[in-house]
């Protein structure tokens, strides 16, 4: 299923985004009820974390050896 480096790279980026979203949701629930704005903020946080991981992987060969820039 995840034999190609590109698909594993996409999976790792998605997992970083999901983990970041869940972490943000967990932090939002402390002290008050969860509101709709906090859910949107958690989704945006997860999406931006996923994009940040994907961007770092595309630029840096040490982050993603099979995806990063080739000399």
Residue 55 structure tokens: 């961007």
- Three-class HEC string of 1-39: CCCCHHHHHHHHHHHHHHHHHHHHHHHHHCCCCCCHHHH
Q: Which of 64, 42, 43 is nearest to 53 (CA)?
A: 64
For the chain, domain boundaries: 5-59
User: The whole model's pTM is what?
Assistant: 0.81
Q: What pLDDT digit, counting tens, does each position of 39-68 carry?
A: 999 999 999 999 999 888 888 777 777 776
Q: What pLDDT digit, counting tens, does each position of 16-33 carry?
A: 999 999 999 988 888 778
Alpha-carbon span 5 to 68, nearest angstrom: 11
């Amino acid at each position: 299923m995840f034999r190609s480096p590109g698909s594993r790279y996409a999976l790792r980026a998605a997992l970083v985004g999901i983990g970041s979203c869940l972490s943000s949701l967990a932090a939002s629930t402390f002290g008050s009820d969860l509101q709709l704005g906090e859910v949107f903020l958690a989704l945006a946080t997860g999406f931006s974390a996923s994009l940040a991981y994907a961007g770092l992987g595309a630029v840096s060969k040490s982050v993603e050896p099979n995806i990063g820039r080739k000399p």
